[in-house]
């Protein structure tokens, strides 16, 4: 399996290097691309997948920035943990990025690594110490940037994070202090965020997050792992839009998230759209996957039993205890290449024989269903990444951030989004009309991991940090 994956990827990245402009030209393009709409193409590289997806398999020329995941927070403000992410690989990652004129960042936190952020920024003394810890790691590894993936300030994430009502304001104070240091003044400081703005002391999305725009170079909205409701139905886990979803069932989308953040004062040109190179699966009995009233069209919101989760592809996490000691999983996730490897898609992205496929015009994402295993999967492909690229262009966003580098197959996804983001020329019409389905359009919704009653789902989705960011 490993060889199956690596060989084509390695060949492809060699080809891409040869095909692209000279290294010097690439260098200039990259140097020039640090500002402006659609100027940032970035992705996370996970140390724990390095065996299957080594640094040599990364398509460096497709990205302006890469972020290494993760350094995890610890109860000791003087220490960040890299043990679970292959500490020895980090310096190689940085030097490989630099050879390719790509900026190298380190992501701090993640779903499983955010437990102690609250304490680390919880007092003036701790903030000063944590600034030292962060600048220390930046200097030690010659990083160009740090990415704060705190899931989430002021809100519970995995289940055992320390949470404080002043998390957001403490985080802001910390970022100011970091920015104020010699190391911090030149550092690329970014954040990965929830689909709604950082919460205020009352636990509600802040009305004004503009102060964050003064200390962050940019932030990526994690528009993936958007949750669903078993009774309302599965739906897209990374919808471009959910305004066409049933009311009361709209859990977040690229459209609503960008609107929420910009309304709260985050400039569009500081926002990256977070996009997934993977999808989520549901076990759904044959027949129940269909659109109500149809004998052939897949439903976008089939009801499902949340207890019937099954292992996804090779990179999915099997059932086990999470860092909080709670039993989770399996996650049920499939990378984009995993969908090909597991026989759901052909290498060109089309559905294999016997697999039902539908592209939902509301969420602008595809679904497949395998009747023989009763597996229904919401995912992203070239068409949905093109739609997202067009959206980035139309909304004037700074670019995209993909979780994760190793999820793509032969650059299908990254090529699609980059091309659309840069030119905005692919068709963006036909956004909200589904086939004969106002029915489907009225049964829709979803949102990212949050603290709601379906918190279990996101927890399953992101077990052991697999889904990220
Ligand atoms: C960046 O790109 C713009 C437009 O493509 C060009 O005019 C400008 O000279 C470039 N700047 C650098 C530093 O290459
Ligand atoms: C500061 O950090 C220490 C551990 O490094 C922790 O014990 C303490 O609770 C933190 N203080 C606050 C106010 O969060
Ligand atoms: C940043 O530095 C300036 C000038 O040294 C100082 O006035 C300001 O209080 C500092 N801000 C923070 C948050 O440390
Ligand atoms: C399916 O359609 C029928 C007829 O329109 C309706 O009575 C029924 O409630 C629908 N079922 C669902 C699950 O929407
Ligand atoms: C899923 O399992 C939980 C715990 O065993 C149970 O309470 C719940 O009813 C189950 N849900 C369904 C839809 O079967
Ligand atoms: C969905 O959009 C596509 C492309 O824009 C269009 O060809 C198709 O007819 C639409 N489907 C429905 C059901 O509206």
Q: In testing the pocket of ligand 2, which one of 73, 77, 117, 127 has its CB within 8 Å of the most ligand atoms?
A: 77
CA 35 to chain centre: 21
Q: What is the pTM of this model?
A: 0.84
- Ligand nearest, relative to CA of residue 180: 3
- Would you write out the chain's pLDDT as a tens digit for each of its 469 residues? 333 333 333 333 333 333 333 333 333 333 434 568 999 999 999 999 999 999 999 999 999 999 999 999 999 999 999 988 889 999 999 999 999 999 999 999 999 999 999 999 999 999 999 999 999 999 999 999 999 999 999 999 999 999 999 999 999 999 999 999 999 999 999 999 999 999 999 999 999 999 999 999 999 999 999 999 999 999 999 999 999 887 767 899 999 999 999 999 999 999 999 999 999 999 999 999 999 889 999 999 999 999 999 999 999 999 999 999 999 989 999 999 999 999 999 999 999 999 999 999 999 999 999 999 999 999 999 999 999 999 999 999 999 999 999 999 999 999 999 999 998 865 444 333 333 333 332 222 223 322 222 333 333 333 333 344 4
Q: Whose CA is nearest to atom 1 of ligand 5?
A: 307
CA dihedral 313, 114, 214, 270 (to 10 degrees): 10
Q: Whose CA is nearest to atom 10 of ligand 1?
A: 32
Task: Calculate how far, in angstroms, residue 291's C-alpha sits from the geometric centre of ligand 4.
Answer: 10
CATH architecture of the region 2-277+381-432: Alpha-Beta Barrel (3.20)
Atom of ligand 2 nearest to the CA of 76: 5
Q: Whose CA is nearest to atom 4 of ligand 5?
A: 307
Q: Is 305 in the pocket of ligand 5 (CB under 6 A)?
A: yes
Task: Calculate how far, in angstroms, residue 196's C-alpha sits from the geometric centre of ligand 2.
Answer: 27
Q: Is 121 in the pocket of ligand 2 (CB under 6 A)?
A: no
Q: Is 28 in the pocket of ligand 1 (CB under 6 A)?
A: yes
């Amino acid at each position: 399996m490993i060889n199956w994956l690596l060989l084509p990827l390695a060949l492809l990245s060699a080809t891409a290097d040869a095909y692209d402009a000279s290294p010097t030209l690439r260098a200039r393009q990259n140097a020039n691309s640090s500002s402006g709409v659609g100027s940032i193409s970035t992705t996370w590289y996970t140390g724990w997948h390095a065996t299957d997806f080594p640094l040599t398999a990364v398509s460096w020329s497709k990205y302006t920035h890469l972020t290494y995941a993760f350094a995890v927070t610890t109860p000791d403000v003087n220490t960040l943990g890299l043990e679970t992410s292959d500490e020895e690989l980090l310096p190689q990652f940085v030097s490989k990025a630099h050879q390719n004129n790509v900026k190298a960042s380190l992501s701090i936190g993640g779903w499983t690594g955010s437990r102690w952020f609250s304490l680390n920024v919880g007092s003036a003394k701790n903030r000063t110490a944590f600034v030292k810890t962060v600048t220390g790691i930046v200097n030690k590894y010659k990083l160009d940037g740090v990415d704060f993936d705190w899931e989430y300030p002021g809100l519970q994430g995995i289940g055992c994070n320390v949470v404080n009502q002043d998390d957001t304001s403490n985080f802001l104070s910390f970022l100011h202090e970091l920015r104020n240091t010699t190391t911090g003044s030149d550092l690329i400081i970014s954040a990965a965020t929830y689909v709604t703005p950082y919460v205020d002391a009352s636990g509600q999305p802040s009305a004004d997050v503009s102060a964050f725009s003064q200390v962050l170079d940019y932030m990526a909205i994690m528009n993936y792992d958007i949750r669903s409701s078993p009774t309302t139905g599965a739906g897209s886990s990374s919808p471009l839009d959910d305004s066409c979803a049933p009311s009361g069932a709209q859990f977040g989308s690229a459209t609503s998230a960008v609107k929420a953040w910009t309304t709260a004062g985050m400039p569009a040109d500081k926002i990256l759209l977070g996009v997934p190179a993977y999808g989520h699966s549901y076990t759904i009995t044959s027949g129940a996957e269909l659109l109500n009233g149809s004998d052939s069209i897949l439903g976008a919101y089939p009801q499902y039993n949340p207890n019937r989760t099954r292992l996804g592809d090779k990179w999915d996490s099997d059932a086990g205890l999470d860092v909080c000691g709670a039993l989770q999983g399996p996650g049920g996730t499939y990378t984009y290449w995993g969908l090909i490897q597991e026989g759901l898609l052909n290498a060109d992205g089309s559905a294999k024989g016997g697999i039902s496929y539908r592209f939902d015009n509301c969420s602008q994402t595809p679904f497949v269903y395998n009747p023989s295993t009763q597996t229904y999967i919401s995912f992203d492909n070239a068409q949905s990444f093109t739609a997202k690229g067009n959206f980035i262009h139309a909304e004037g966003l700074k670019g995209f951030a993909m979780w994760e580098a190793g999820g793509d197959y032969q650059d299908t996804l990254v090529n699609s989004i980059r091309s659309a983001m840069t030119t905005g020329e692919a068709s963006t019409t036909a956004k909200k009309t589904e086939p004969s389905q106002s029915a489907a359009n009225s049964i829709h919704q979803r949102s990212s991991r949050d603290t709601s009653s379906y918190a279990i789902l996101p927890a399953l989705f992101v077990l052991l940090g697999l889904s990220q960011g």
